[in-house]
Structure 1
Amino acid sequence: MPAISTLYAGIVGKDHFGRHAQWYGRWGYGSDGRFVLQFQAINVRRGQCMDEVMPTVGGVSAAGREEGTLEGWQHGGKWFSFEGHAIFSRMAGSGEPLVLIHGFPTASWDWNRLWPMLIQQHNVLALDMLGFGFSDKPADYDYSIEDQADLFQGWIEGLGLPSVHLLVHDYGCSVAQELLAREQEDLLPFRIASVCFLNGALFPEVHNPLLIQKLLGSPFGGLISRGLTRRSFERNFRRLFGSQNPPDRQDMEDFWHLLTYNNGRGILHHLIQFMEERRCHRNRWVGALQKATQPMRLISGTADPVSGAGMARRYRELMPDGDVVTLRNIGHYPHLECPWEVFSAYREFRKRCEG
């Protein structure tokens, strides 16, 4: 692969073994014409260099971590710095860049069931936003959708990507709306080629938050956040899924681990302020949808009690020519509940875009 440009030069993060390292990358086009990214970590203390993507044999990485597990997911990622905070990210595949943006209160691990399918056709990029998953979770930080959009904008720009496709869920839908608004204001250094939304509260007037979300956003949110128990979390989280597709024991173990990693419970009341942001920025973010010229699709699990069938109806009302795919008996997490159906709907959407 020809080396065309250098990425992440001077950015300090961690290598696969948790050592402080600087990340460097090269991008170019392979013999088949597909866009390819290649990364290396240079250990700051020892001056050692190793490839970011480690070989796998029989589903086990070279370092012995099983693929398809949360541990393997973490081990296969890398970190970079954003405003002095460590951000966890993953990249794989080749083709046109596809950026995945996760929802609240989870992380990029949400995409793990779609990941093997997507990387066969796309260069897939995902990260844990600040305050989520394996990324840093500073307690005294002013979390906002705009700040998360800054994170993605800086990351994509730093990678030197001229154009990206977006596949976004929940909280990530609001981040995508802000990025669309910036593009329409000529503030993005890259082009958004297409956007596919999954069960996001695109229109705050029909968003129906759970009681726990309302409590987290109340003046008592700090107490609720710090006192959240696993039992309470599981009870509320299960309500988001379709009755035929409940999360299993391992799913709940993984989600709880991601939530509580690095004292994540202590900042939930800060993160939940995105619900108020949606109301405050409603005209800007809904306007960004209505003014968008790139292809867009909404994939909606209609059994979602928070942003399901009602959100899909509102999308059709405000976007008369809107492209909506509904999934019956599927809840708030279509990409976890029915990954093949989501992949098929997304693949068909991209084929239509290219046609």
Structure 2
Amino acid sequence: MVDEQVRVWADRGSHVRWRSTTAENDGRELDVYVQTRGDRGNPALVLVHGYPTSSYDFHRVVALLEEDHFVCLVDLPGYGLSDKPHTDHRYTIADDARLVDHLVRTTFGLDAFTLVTHDRGDSVGLALLDLVRTEGAPYDVSGLVMLNGNVWLPLAQLTGIQKALLHPVTGPPISRMLPTRVFARGLARRTCTPALDAAETAALEGMLAHQQGMRVQHRLIQYLNERRVHEAAWLASLTAGPVPVTLAWGELDTIAPPAVADFVWSEHLASREAASSYWRIPAANHYPQLDQPDVVSALLRIPPGTDPGKPVAGARLVAENRPGEPS
């Protein structure tokens, strides 16, 4: 039975066809779920979710922003309401970056937008910016807002289930046998503060259950190995690039702890030529967009690289880098 919140969310969007660019996938076509909300004439946001969830992660923030923003969402292949091939498909960050680029050019039809990313989506966003920087694009990424994600794995604190799913021996059988409900309830308790209520947990379970999504978890989480190979280059490209960045981090996160954000700020954002800012959200865990949607939406109303003008309730501005202005 389909959860009612999942059904309502599904009805707000549609599916588009996407041909994978990953060589091992041999041009396989997939149905990818997309959704747009708000007036196209308003400032545009492109939201990219993390592992192992979906665009539904942003539903509370979207409800607060759609009146004065044009919000674009996608369920990456293997996630949410998009296709989830169980065998002979390689899910990659690089392919997802190409997908987002394709959607911006076609389905979303944007000339400029702020990119908002979370968790695995942070790496998709970094790969997209690297792609735009090296190959060019007919659109302008006017800013990047990065929410909690282990973009520097040496400081990550992966959970036991993440490590088990990643492992080549234990990952496949766990993906086959772990009940979706158990996995969803664990996420609801561990990654959100307070823990997600019964209705939100049921929606999370419904998204994971679509096309037997648990069966692809071992394949999906291999993105960590791809991230490990490319993370230094992606962060270096971000440092050298022109896109203003806002780093917004839930302080209660024990998986992608604040130490990750501290590292990204000090090593890659604090002294770059493009403007950057670093915010902490004290009452948020790994999913600040679910824990503190009012705070996240307020931060998203501040274009990256600009003066916030006044304090944001529920958030703390840790540091700013605004080249060309007096310190």
Please state which band the TM-score falls in when normalised by the shorter chain. Answer: 0.7 to 0.9
Selected match of 2:53 from 95, 106, 113: 106
Question: Equivalent residue for 1:173?
Answer: 122
Question: Equivalent residue for 1:325?
Answer: 279
Kindly provide the amino acid, as one letter, of the partner of residue 11 in structure 2.
H
Question: Equivalent residue for 1:56?
Answer: none
Contact 1:212 1:236 in 2 (8 A): no
5+ unaligned residues in a row in structure 2: which ranges? 20-28, 310-327
Alignment partner of 1:260 is 2:209: yes
Question: CA–CA distance in 1 between the matches of 2:257 and 2:176?
Answer: 29
**SS, match of residue 167 in structure 2:** coil
Give the drift of 1:232.
Answer: 4.5
Q: Which runs of 4+ in 1 moved over 6 A?
A: none
Question: Equivalent residue for 1:164?
Answer: 113
**Structure ranking higher in helix proportion:** 2
**SS, match of residue 114 in structure 1:** helix
Give the drift of 1:122.
Answer: 1.4
Question: Equivalent residue for 2:196?
Answer: 247
Alignment partner of 1:72 is 2:8: yes
Question: CA–CA distance in 1 between the matches of 2:152 and 2:11?
Answer: 37
Kindly provide the amino acid, as one letter, of the partner of residue 34 in structure 2.
S
**SS, match of residue 263 in structure 2:** helix
Alignment map for 1:96-245 (pairs within 5 Å): 96-139=43-86, 140-159=88-107, 160-219=109-168, 220-229=170-179, 230-242=181-193, 245=194
Selected match of 2:35 from 82, 90, 114: 90
Alignment partner of 1:309 is 2:258: yes
Question: CA–CA distance in 1 between the matches of 2:173 and 2:278?
Answer: 39
Contact 2:146 2:246 in 1 (8 A): yes
- In terms of mean alpha carbon deviation, does 100-109 or 345-354 score higher? 345-354
Give the drift of 1:162.
Answer: 2.2
Identity among equivalent positions (%) equals 29
Kindly provide the amino acid, as one letter, of the partner of residue 275 in structure 1.
L
Give the drift of 1:337.
Answer: 0.5
Give the drift of 1:86.
Answer: 0.8
Question: CA–CA distance in 1 between the matches of 2:71 and 2:104?
Answer: 12
Q: Deviations over 1:228-264 (max 9, x none)?
A: 122244125411223xx21111111111111111011
Kindly provide the amino acid, as one letter, of the partner of residue 170 in structure 1.
D
Alignment partner of 1:300 is 2:249: yes
Q: Which structure is higher in RCO with an 8 Å CA cutoff and minimum separation 6?
A: 2
5+ unaligned residues in a row in structure 1: which ranges? 1-64
CA, structure 1 residues 336+354, in 2 after alignment: closer, same or farther (shift >3 Å)? closer
**Structure ranking higher in strand proportion:** 1
Contact 1:308 1:331 in 2 (8 A): no
Contact 1:295 1:353 in 2 (8 A): no
Question: CA–CA distance in 2 between the matches of 1:184 and 1:276?
Answer: 23
Q: Deviations over 1:203-228 (max 9, x none)?
A: 22212211111111101211111111
**SS, match of residue 80 in structure 2:** coil
- In terms of mean alpha carbon deviation, does 203-212 or 232-241 score higher? 232-241
User: If the length of structure 2 is used for normalisation, what is the TM-score?
Assistant: 0.83
Question: Equivalent residue for 1:277?
Answer: 226
Give the drift of 1:104.
Answer: 0.8
User: If the length of structure 1 is used for normalisation, what is the TM-score?
Assistant: 0.77
Give the drift of 1:72.
Answer: 1.1
Contact 2:192 2:290 in 1 (8 A): no
